[in-house]
Amino acid sequence: MDNIHQIPQRAFTHSGKFHADDVFSAALLTYLNPKIQIERGYEVPDDYDGIVFDIGGGEYDHHHEGAPVRENGVPYGAFGLLWKSFGTVILTQEEAEHFDESFVQPLDLSDNTGSKNEVAEIISLFNPPWDSEIDQDQCFLEAKSLALTILRKKFEHIESSRRAEGIVGEALANAKNQIAVLSQGVPWKKFIIGTDIEFVIYPSDRGGYCAQGVPLDRDIKELKIYFPEEWRGKRGDELRESSGIGELHFCHNSGFLVATDTVEGAIKACVVAKERQQESP
């Protein structure tokens, strides 16, 4: 990673009950530097030579008067402050901003206001019960391990989406009749919704090909074009007879997807669906 030298070998946060804020902060620092030692205590040692977060009133604390707030009004937590400094070490600027909005901000808001957040509630369960003799620092490490797994999986999917963009871009460049044919089954909605594409075809994990209708936009699940009503819920010979397409072997009951033996059959199904809609009053 670039700028890994910015992550020291030690970090300090508060003892006592932990929350998603300090746990994900520790997980993020561990992701950036797997050798970092996360220390906990009620007071920051004098002349501490590491990162201090969620305690002490410094750059990565948010409990003091005048603590930073985002332009949209969401207050920063320690996790958000660390992400602001180091997010672009992991992701592109655009990806880091989206991750802040979609994942970090809800956790920061929960920590600052007590608003409901399922991830924060799960992390809180790692605190030992009040009458337990379990070591609290060990519980913190267990919670950090879960948070680190979540971050790794999040980043893996974001990086995978980045790789998918090239495959989708090639399909868009070669699209005909508002039908995009992908060479591989990859996440495509992020890149295709909002274009003029009406159908997406891709190789199926079960063999053959699938064709899907494209939603009108990212906020509306309704499709631009559905597969014909008389196909829906049918499969095999019954569907082939109903559609007149020999390669077609399944149509989802909602009409959003069909499965075919060949890419040519998938294209034919999309063309017929488009013609049927155009014929409708």
For 33, residues 6+ apart whose C-beta sits below 8 A from its C-beta are 4, 7, 8, 9
The band of 221, judged by pLDDT with boundaries at 50, 70 and 90, is: confident
The band of 7, judged by pLDDT with boundaries at 50, 70 and 90, is: confident
What is the per-residue pLDDT for 245? 96
- Same-domain check for residues 97 and 135: yes
- Same-domain check for residues 50 and 136: yes
Which pLDDT tens digit goes with each residue over 62-107? 998 889 999 999 999 999 999 999 999 999 999 999 999 999 999 9
Which of 134, 162, 190 delimits the end of a domain?
162
Question: In this model, does residue 154 exceed pLDDT 90?
Answer: yes
Residue 167 covered by a domain: no
- Same-domain check for residues 50 and 149: yes
Residue 257 covered by a domain: yes
Q: Quick one: angle between helices 20-32 and 78-90, nearest 10?
A: 20
- Same-domain check for residues 125 and 213: no
Residue 236 covered by a domain: yes
- Same-domain check for residues 11 and 81: yes
- Same-domain check for residues 21 and 119: yes
- Same-domain check for residues 218 and 149: no
- Same-domain check for residues 89 and 195: no
Question: In this model, does residue 141 exceed pLDDT 60?
Answer: yes
How far is the C-alpha of 99 from the C-alpha of 101, rounded, in Å?
5
Question: In this model, does residue 5 exceed pLDDT 60?
Answer: no
Domain of residue 203 covers 174-279
Alpha helices in 126-216 (DSSP H): 136-173, 189-192
Averaged pLDDT of the chain: 95
Average pLDDT over residues 209-216: 97
Residue 20 covered by a domain: yes
What is the per-residue pLDDT for 281? 63
| Structural domain count of the chain | 2
Average pLDDT over residues 268-277: 96
Which of 118, 137, 162 delimits the end of a domain?
162
Which of 162, 186, 206 delimits the end of a domain?
162
For 242, residues 6+ apart whose C-beta sits below 8 A from its C-beta are 230, 231, 234
The band of 2, judged by pLDDT with boundaries at 50, 70 and 90, is: very low
Residue 168 covered by a domain: no
What is the per-residue pLDDT for 1? 41
- Same-domain check for residues 29 and 132: yes
What is the per-residue pLDDT for 220? 83
- Same-domain check for residues 114 and 239: no
Residue 249 covered by a domain: yes
- Same-domain check for residues 119 and 254: no
- Same-domain check for residues 126 and 230: no
For the chain, what percent of residues have pLDDT higher than 90? 92
What is the per-residue pLDDT for 194? 94
Residue 184 covered by a domain: yes
Using left for φ > 0, alpha for ψ between -120 and 50, and beta otherwise, residue 240 falls in alpha
Closest Cα partner for 60 from 86, 80, 30, 87? Answer: 80
Residue 252 covered by a domain: yes
Query: What sign for the dihedral angle of Cα 173, 179, 182, 186?
Result: positive
Which pLDDT tens digit goes with each residue over 9-49? 999 999 999 999 999 999 999 999 999 999 999 999 999 99
